[in-house]
Structure 1
């Protein structure tokens, strides 16, 4: 007696097999290709705090000033598509209330334009596309995807070199948990600047090629583990001038114990981290697991129905012709 295979069982078996194939593809093929640095980024982060700044009009350092650091990042889509890299134009300005609001960023206390180019997948520096300045390290505006519990080399633009940031556990920012990294920068000579001699304690010299020194009291970054997005940032920059060959700071250009993301910037970064992390989790975990489980169930049911089948009425015993002698 033959058994008829139900079309439903074949459909279930086929759909289950499709889902079983789809599950690993989502986890091993689609998700890694979704975890890339964007090329159309357009974001602004603002740090605020108090500290001492050099007032050019008063020719001296003024304490207890409100300091605002504005960092704008915009992707160059055309260069990114042409190069296959993430090409981001970065503008950082340092202001006091005296220079805010500024119609021209060049009027700020400090103005630092730059172009950051990275491998979209690994976040490693890619030296092309008129990159400026030349930088190294593993992290700057963001960390790599899938952040690990280890030390990272973070590029400090003011230092012009990398700083080791050590993993310090987890920390919640507005209820969202991230990995915390910290580090410091000892006083380091970073360059020279031509200034009036009086500024560095040499009044008899009209112009002096003073030494520029930089330190950082504390760098603290809290990072989303899955995306590498920085959801909280705090720095403590100190920039000074010394007379040529001097052992002590002669003038303080900028000194703050703490410049940190504003509440609005923190919330915005957390919201974006939640969205991006959720999307990667869905593609890399939720959908593959769901597809795998559902595919297994549907395939199993389909196999059972195919094996069991049902009798074909045209080939039943009652339909067989009788045997004759």
Structure 2
């Protein structure tokens, strides 16, 4: 029985060690990649002042991965974003350009690296698309406490997204980043020059790189100083609760695969191998004692 138990323990130990090796060397490269089947709707709310009128707004941002255009190392994304006057209380996610409730609407197609999350050029982007750079819709897996380039679509270039602090949201550890631009020259409308200022605060779950909350303040002015737009929005309460819950689940799953399973594999495997070897050694028959040796006086 000891031999059988020893062999079983050695087999189990070998399996656990191999599992530990696989989850250490192979699994991170598989699980720490942005999926190509993402279809995410993010909702923000707040207030806007447009041409002197202040009113509540709803912001709906829909980000979809194009699974057919995406590749092993690149995700192709399509994002539609709509800001709607919500003063009526029953505003839809978006309205057409003839509806007075429409504040702004944008559509963008971009590509990001599936590991670093940084924007990049790619042959599968539609012809004429402007390649995005830097951080766009998420941060990299294992986000670090450092500054990142952040894509500003209004300016068409990156700005510095600065690490501020590590903090907590509903028991979830997050990294707080912030960016700011001031009085940048832009076209308010076609042929109408003006200036643009924006402050963005982003809270990131560092294991997955997921954005848990975003606060955004934006102002636009004509050259004569007339304010055209003043926008202040952040994730809705429901969106924040959903983001935190999903981030906790996803971070726990990644930690299980990349840290807990390897630890169990290596430690449990080593213990099983040692115990198995001991059982096999103890289970060996002892050499017989010769009668002559037994009869010899001490």
Residue in structure 2 matched with residue 119 of structure 1 by the alignment: 113
| CA distance in 1: counterparts of 2:94 and 2:59, whole angstroms | 16
Residue in structure 2 matched with residue 7 of structure 1 by the alignment: 4
Report the RMSD for the aligned CA atoms in angstroms. 2.3
| CA distance in 2: counterparts of 1:85 and 1:142, whole angstroms | 14
| CA distance in 2: counterparts of 1:13 and 1:272, whole angstroms | 39
Provide structure 2 residue ranges, at least 5 long, that are not aligned to the other structure: 291-298
> Based on CA coordinates, which of the two structures has the bigger radius of gyration?
1
Residue in structure 2 matched with residue 295 of structure 1 by the alignment: 269
1:171 to 151, 167, 170: 167
Q: TM-score, normalising length from structure 1? A: 0.80
Residue in structure 2 matched with residue 235 of structure 1 by the alignment: 216
| CA distance in 1: counterparts of 2:94 and 2:115, whole angstroms | 37
CA separation of 1:293 and 1:225: change in aligned 2, threshold 3 A: same
Using the TM superposition, give the Cα deviation of residue 115 of structure 1 relative to its aligned residue in structure 2, in angstroms.
1.2
Residue in structure 1 matched with residue 197 of structure 2 by the alignment: 215
Assess if the C-alpha contact under 8 Å between 2:56 and 2:87 holds in 1: no
Provide structure 1 residue ranges, at least 5 long, that are not aligned to the other structure: 54-60, 195-208, 243-247, 319-325
Using the TM superposition, give the Cα deviation of residue 186 of structure 1 relative to its aligned residue in structure 2, in angstroms.
0.7
2:177 to 181, 205, 224: 181
Matches within 5 A, 1:229-308: 229-242=210-223, 248-250=224-226, 252-256=227-231, 258-308=232-282
Residue in structure 2 matched with residue 130 of structure 1 by the alignment: 125
Residue in structure 2 matched with residue 101 of structure 1 by the alignment: 92
| CA distance in 2: counterparts of 1:240 and 1:29, whole angstroms | 52
Q: Note the alpha carbon deviations across 1:224-254, whole angstroms, 9 max, x for none.
A: 0101100010010112232xxxxx323x331
Assess if the C-alpha contact under 8 Å between 1:235 and 1:260 holds in 2: yes
Using the TM superposition, give the Cα deviation of residue 97 of structure 1 relative to its aligned residue in structure 2, in angstroms.
2.2
| CA distance in 2: counterparts of 1:297 and 1:12, whole angstroms | 9
Assess if the C-alpha contact under 8 Å between 1:150 and 1:166 holds in 2: yes
| CA distance in 2: counterparts of 1:45 and 1:278, whole angstroms | 22
Assess if the C-alpha contact under 8 Å between 1:90 and 1:113 holds in 2: yes
Residue in structure 1 matched with residue 295 of structure 2 by the alignment: none
Assess if the C-alpha contact under 8 Å between 1:173 and 1:266 holds in 2: no
Q: Note the alpha carbon deviations across 1:108-155, whole angstroms, 9 max, x for none.
A: 321110112111122122312225432111x12111111111111111
SS at match of 1:307: helix
Matches within 5 A, 1:122-161: 122-128=116-122, 129-130=124-125, 132-137=129-134, 139-161=135-157
SS at match of 2:234: strand
SS at match of 2:8: helix
| CA distance in 2: counterparts of 1:295 and 1:102, whole angstroms | 54
| CA distance in 2: counterparts of 1:191 and 1:213, whole angstroms | 8
| CA distance in 2: counterparts of 1:105 and 1:304, whole angstroms | 76
